[in-house]
Structure 1
């Protein structure tokens, strides 16, 4: 079968071995698979990703970066066949999504980051039957394929210590920032301030429900805190509370992942703010703890999501609590994946590109 393979830090379309479902597995046909920002980084810096994973003590990315790898972990697929001992609860032809991890006799394979099993940039995949979720309510395939990235937003919001009166600022409106905005609004939080230099991304943030849209080139997103009732200084906050003035906990979501951003937020955020770090900075960075200590800033780093958050995100999409129509700005077949990686380097070119292997 055909697949797009990372080989020698290049993407090549080639033939790989056919798959046979093992015990408890299902063979699926890939219908659509999103290109993630981590895929863009992994193409040229997989070794660095594996090293940081090792240093973090998780060992999640434990494979040979010099060997062939088929990316793709944001997918919607169709069941073709069942392996031995399968319950066959979901019949052939059922559209499904899944957390991108497959149980094998040798352990867990993370789809998209495995030498043994291909991810969604292949015509077919092997999934664990017990982990697949049927796509409900006639949810379109391209929307179902966004379950995985939007689950990251669900996890970020779950980790935020928001109260009913909280004001949230989302810095960076790429796929992660958009997922955070969508989940904040789906959970009833607001006002939500969204900031990005890209007009296209700002428009997407507005479509997903952000209450205030800011171009940082023209205005600091932190200039709105006072207007929305959140005093900036700790002394002013204490005085407000003494006078019976109530205001919600300020929460900032860092969704950029570039050096210097975190320190800038520590300096600009209100005293007592929680900064939820969802952007993955793959370089060494530097912060000044004394500033954060003086302001009593809380830093919360998030990664991934739980199976429950994944399932809840699928439900949010299917029930219309999150409207992702229009976020997919491009679709390519396997032959167009390499060019799509280049195109995604320009934030004005695309918001999200899906790979459709049958295209």
Structure 2
């Protein structure tokens, strides 16, 4: 049996249709009227409150092949899919089984992890669900995303209750924040470490906050925007460096008796930041990569091995970090009104995507409020 929300509002029934952004191919996203999906016994239906727009959404909109200059590399977004993976919403209808299994009630605000793991592949069986082999994700492949008024949450989705009293676009920031915290966990930061974070966008700011919570000796933030560097200070950076005007490598070496940083977290997605990180690190330092790149990065790999014996790690999604991200958002310790810099209605979805894709646009986190 499917249960409809009773709530406290004037209406207890749902409309028949909803507005949604649909991918028809690269640079062909359309706002359409679609039937509202009906949840099965093990599914939830949420009314979307907010959905963030990230660099991967921009990459998919333009087509990954276009960004890479390689027509054999497919675009990430599946045609016919509704994009949007950073979202928060309220449960308005559900199968009784879904509510019971998740200990939820109608009217509960939830967020969902981006990945919808298959629970059957090698990685899922080993508990490494975020590397699921089929890799079905909200808004990219397999499952519709949240650039719509309503979203169907499948039984395999990983769901977390969200704080009810913070703005919706702040709650939707749980997705990029959990990703940033996962990168910090990968770095295994120690108390005496000097940590450098490259890039003060949404992921970088989350990395700064996460790194600061580990109590290292110093957190250094790098960016080309003075405004974003000011935000970095509010998120916990001890020192900021504008790489457009200052020599970050020399500054860090001067701070560390010539040795270099212990940890480098890369969040710019710019190829030059990769070489910067390898050169800014001390011997036996740790490099963690978490970015969406638009072009390939070429580096001298002898720095990694023969010169410094670096630990070079990747980070993907935000496994096991969602509760911490939600607690951090609820604590009001982050300057969320400044981080969540721009909001658009659903009709302005293309303006939102273009703003995220414009480095000179002055945005930090852009959100759509359906």
Following the alignment from structure 1 to structure 2, what is the Cα–Cα distance between the partners of residues 204 and 190? Answer: 20
Following the alignment from structure 2 to structure 1, what is the Cα–Cα distance between the partners of residues 180 and 76? Answer: 27
Following the alignment from structure 1 to structure 2, what is the Cα–Cα distance between the partners of residues 205 and 270? Answer: 23
Q: TM-score, normalised by structure 2?
A: 0.81
Give the SS at the match of 1:173. Answer: coil
Change (3 A) 1:253 1:133: same
Aligned residues: 333
User: 1:72 matched to which residue of 2?
Assistant: 84
Q: TM-score, normalised by structure 1?
A: 0.83
User: 1:187 matched to which residue of 2?
Assistant: 214
Following the alignment from structure 1 to structure 2, what is the Cα–Cα distance between the partners of residues 324 and 97? Answer: 17
Change (3 A) 1:46 1:229: closer
Q: Are the counterparts in 2 of residues 31 and 76 from structure 1 also a CA contact under 8 Å?
A: yes
Offset from partner CA, 1:208-255 (integer Å, 9 cap, x none): 12111111122122223344335327xxxxxxxxxxxxxxx7111111
* 1:108-127 to 2 correspondences below 5 Å: 109-114=136-141, 117-127=143-153
User: 1:165 matched to which residue of 2?
Assistant: 192
Following the alignment from structure 1 to structure 2, what is the Cα–Cα distance between the partners of residues 348 and 310? Answer: 29
How big is the shift at 1:259? 2.5
* 1:190-269 to 2 correspondences below 5 Å: 190-232=217-259, 250-269=262-281
Change (3 A) 1:180 1:108: closer
Q: 2:321 aligns with which of 297, 309, 317?
A: 309
Q: Are the counterparts in 2 of residues 178 and 205 from structure 1 also a CA contact under 8 Å?
A: yes
Give the SS at the match of 1:232. Answer: coil
Following the alignment from structure 1 to structure 2, what is the Cα–Cα distance between the partners of residues 75 and 64? Answer: 17
Following the alignment from structure 1 to structure 2, what is the Cα–Cα distance between the partners of residues 121 and 347? Answer: 24
How big is the shift at 1:83? 1.9
* 1:1-359 to 2 correspondences below 5 Å: 1-9=18-26, 10-46=28-64, 65=78, 67-83=79-95, 85-88=97-100, 89-102=103-116, 109-114=136-141, 117-128=143-154, 131-136=158-163, 138-232=165-259, 250-292=262-304, 293-306=306-319, 308-344=320-356, 345-357=358-370
Q: CA RMSD in A?
A: 3.0
User: 1:243 matched to which residue of 2?
Assistant: none
Q: Are the counterparts in 1 of residues 198 and 273 from structure 2 also a CA contact under 8 Å?
A: no
Query: Any gaps of 5 or more consecutive residues in structure 2?
Result: 1-17, 121-133
How big is the shift at 1:23? 3.1
Q: Are the counterparts in 2 of residues 317 and 323 from structure 1 also a CA contact under 8 Å?
A: no
Offset from partner CA, 1:190-211 (integer Å, 9 cap, x none): 4111111122322221221211
Q: Are the counterparts in 2 of residues 103 and 128 from structure 1 also a CA contact under 8 Å?
A: no
User: 1:237 matched to which residue of 2?
Assistant: none
Q: Are the counterparts in 2 of residues 191 and 211 from structure 1 also a CA contact under 8 Å?
A: yes
Following the alignment from structure 2 to structure 1, what is the Cα–Cα distance between the partners of residues 77 and 364? Answer: 31
Change (3 A) 1:252 1:104: closer
